[in-house]
Amino acid sequence: MLEVGMKAPGFTLPDQDGNLVSLSDFLGKWVVLYFYPRDNTPGCTRQACAFSAQYPAFQALNAVVIGISKDSVASHQKFAQKHELPFLLLSDPERSAIQAYGVWQEKKNYGKVSMGVVRSAFLIDPEGNLEKVMPKVKPDTNAADVLAYLQK
């Protein structure tokens, strides 16, 4: 399990426009990295829209916001356009970053057990180390909680 102080696992994944993005591209900035199950589902949409609403405040704190799911680039593009999301959405269909961050886990839904992405967030400091690990976050409060932590 990832812990505060560890080096954040690196990755290179395509964004919603098909451009390759690496975690190392953001050295010198705070990175809010959040993993979510699926584009255009109610919880994931509320979470993304909350980050979108707070995005200027994150930018003012020298922070970038990056959402990752296993959805395709095309799905991310539609999701970002539909909700006018100003931040990066990265596509991880092979689950390389999802597994590196330990968010691919067993989930129970209405008694049915399956594997999936557990909604989680990580705050990475400007040197590339984990500052905060937030497992099982709530979609409605995640953005505000991370912003409040960063503002301290």
pLDDT for 125 equals 98
Kindly state the tokens that stand for 36. Answer: 């979510």
pLDDT for 71 equals 97
Q: What does DSSP say about strands 112-117 and 104-109: parallel, antiparallel, or unpaired? A: antiparallel
Among the listed residues 21, 44, 97, 130, the single catalytic one is: 44
pLDDT for 109 equals 81
Q: How far apart are CA 123 and CA 134, in angstroms?
A: 8
CATH classification (class only), 27-151:
alpha beta
When pLDDT is cut at 50, 70 and 90, the band that residue 1 belongs to is confident
pTM: 0.96
Q: Is the dihedral of CA 43, 105, 80, 144 positive or negative?
A: positive
Radius of gyration of the chain (CA): 14
pLDDT tens readout for residues 32-46: 999 999 999 999 999
Q: How far apart are CA 123 and CA 144, in angstroms?
A: 13
Told to judge if 49 belongs to the known catalytic residues of this protein, a careful annotator would answer no
Average pLDDT for the chain: 96
29 secondary structure, DSSP code = S
Q: How far apart are CA 22 and CA 44, in angstroms?
A: 23
Q: What is the domain partition of the chain in residue ranges? A: 27-151
What is the mean predicted confidence (pLDDT) over 71-94? 98
